[in-house]
Amino acid sequence: MASILKSLRLVGDPNRLRLMLLLEQEELSVAELQEILGKGQSQISTHLSQLKQAGLVDDRRTGKNAFYRLVAPAEMMDLLRQAAREVPETEQDRDALRLALRRRQDKVRRYFDELAGKFGRQYVPGRSWQGIAEALLRLMPPLVIADLGAGEGTIAQLMAQRAKKVIAIDNSEKMVEFGSGLAKKHGMSNLEYRLGELEDVPIRSGTVDLAFLSQALHHARHPERAVTEAWRILKPGGRIAILDLNRHHFEEAREMYADLWLGFSELEIERYLKGSGFRNVEAAIVFREQEPPYLETMLATGEK
């Protein structure tokens, strides 16, 4: 009886309860638990040591790494799942766990990053990023696309080659004037530039198939409102695609590029999308720079 009471007192701590609920779903390393819970290494290790001594978790060594797994009785876990309703962080933990498991596949992604990095360094007749981009654009069905935060409109002009219509939105009069001039010069009648803010898009509700934000969200004063605006203008079944920087600490970007936000975490972007009503939300790092400040590009998608 004493050991049962001791175990119950031990798991009465919200952080240890969160640990056990996570380990019930997957074996995890200390580093992964740090990432999910946002706690320090020593704190996580102390909690795990206490749980291991109580016979509630065990570890498995793989090389230099140790993965912890749950060995607590099912009856206790039934009780802890009920107690989890009193710990609001457990819902966030589930989302963070999903992202941590996705990052386990990073080794494969790094391989393809390296492979992509070699693309174009050696001459191969007929192979170029431009050729691949053109091929992918031609596979895209004719859509009504909103390029939100379009800048000078390079991407908008590429998409206009195939799209039914592209509406490029930017808050700079000079950018809108410049882009409009290029569209007219090249006879792109399906490409329209409009002056507007990401948080107040000058497009009617429910009229767009794809809302695209490329390196624009970190310039928005209120990113969550910008995502909600994208949801508003999309048709039912329409999709959003966000290319932006992963959260970083390159403070110089505020002065150099007028960035309001130093990127976003995958979890933040997913919360913005889900909070606005998007379904089938996914976010992943798709590119890592090989030189300082080693910025990372994230792609996030969702469906209305």
pLDDT in tens, 54-97: 999 999 887 777 899 999 988 889 988 998 889 999 989 988 99
In the chain, domain spans: 2-104, 125-303
- Evaluate whether 188 touches 180 at the Cβ level (below 8 Å): no
55 Cβ contact list (under 8 Å, min separation 6): 3, 7, 71, 72
Mean pLDDT, range 122-147, rounded to an integer: 78
Whether pLDDT at 107 is above 60: no
Question: How, if at all, do strands 144-148 and 165-170 pair?
Answer: parallel
The pLDDT score that the predictor gives to residue 280 is 96
Give the other-Cβ count within 10 Å of 102's Cβ.
Answer: 15
Average pLDDT rounded to a whole number, residues 32-61: 92
CATH C-level class of 125-303: alpha beta
Lowest mean pLDDT among 2-6, 146-150, 241-245, 273-277: 2-6
Residue 301 or residue 100, greater confidence: 301
- Tracing tokens 């990127």 back to the chain, one arrives at 263
Averaged pLDDT score across all residues of the chain: 88
Give me the pLDDT at residue 8, please. 80
% of the chain exceeding 70 in pLDDT: 91
User: If pLDDT is split at 50, 70 and 90, which confidence band does 139 have?
Assistant: confident
- Work out the pLDDT band at 1, boundaries 50, 70, 90: very low
List the beta bridge partners of residue 234: 208
Determine which of 126-140, 151-165, 242-256 has the lowest per-residue pLDDT on average.
126-140
CA distances from 251 to 154, 221, 245, 247, 255 (A): 27, 17, 13, 11, 8
What is the third-level CATH fold of 2-104? Answer: Arc Repressor Mutant, subunit A (1.10.10)
**H or E element that contains 81:** helix 74-83
pLDDT of 297 reads 94
- Cβ atoms 7, 73 nearer than 8 A: no
pLDDT value of residue 4: 74
Q: In this predicted model, what pLDDT tens digit does every residue of 153-205 receive, in sequence order?
A: 889 998 998 899 999 999 999 999 999 998 999 899 999 999 999 999 999 99
Q: Which residue has the tokens 């310039």?
A: 219
| 114 pLDDT higher than 70 | no
**Average confidence (pLDDT) over 250-277:** 93
- Taken in order 172, 174, 176, 182, the sign of the CA dihedral is negative
Same topology between domain 2-104 and domain 125-303: no
Report pLDDT for 224: 96
Q: What is the pLDDT of residue 44?
A: 95
When pLDDT is averaged across residues 217-241 and rounded to a whole number, the result is 97
Q: Are 145 and 209 in contact (CB under 8 A)?
A: yes
132 — pLDDT class (breaks 50, 70, 90)? confident
